[in-house]
Amino acid sequence: MAISAKAKPLINAKANTHSALTLEGMNFTDWKVTPKVPDNHSGEWKAAPSNKQPDLTRELRLVLKCKTSPAKVGPEKRDPPDGTLTITLTKSGSTDVTASVPVDYANDEPPAVP
């Protein structure tokens, strides 16, 4: 099963902010989302299915809340670079499915003045 995001999502990287993304590539009926969603820059989000799901046989809409901002890297330590979120789906009697979703990060803090 090849799960991917519908488009490369723009994810809020500031703690306690919300984002949304849509997964596609399998029938998501009866699958549960593991709430803990880490990224490859030490960030973490809490995931939950959206209340409005158009068609679980084709896609799954998720709401993400940033718990821990990803690490800022580089000499200026401004914004985190693009990252990859790891989303795990579980279903009773089935093997867990993991999706690695490339994302762009948004940070609503003003840029640092040099």
Q: What is the pLDDT of residues 70-103, one digit of tens each?
A: 876 555 555 667 889 999 999 998 899 999 999 9
User: Is the CB of residue 64 less than 8 Å from the CB of residue 46?
Assistant: yes
Give the CA distances from residue 69 to residues 11, 14, 32, in Å, rounded to whole numbers and listed in that order.
Answer: 11, 6, 24
User: Is the CB of residue 96 less than 8 Å from the CB of residue 1?
Assistant: no
Give the pLDDT confidence of 13-49 residue by residue, as tens digits.
888 999 999 999 999 999 999 999 999 888 899 999 9
Structural domains of the chain, with CATH: 4-106 (2.60.40.10)
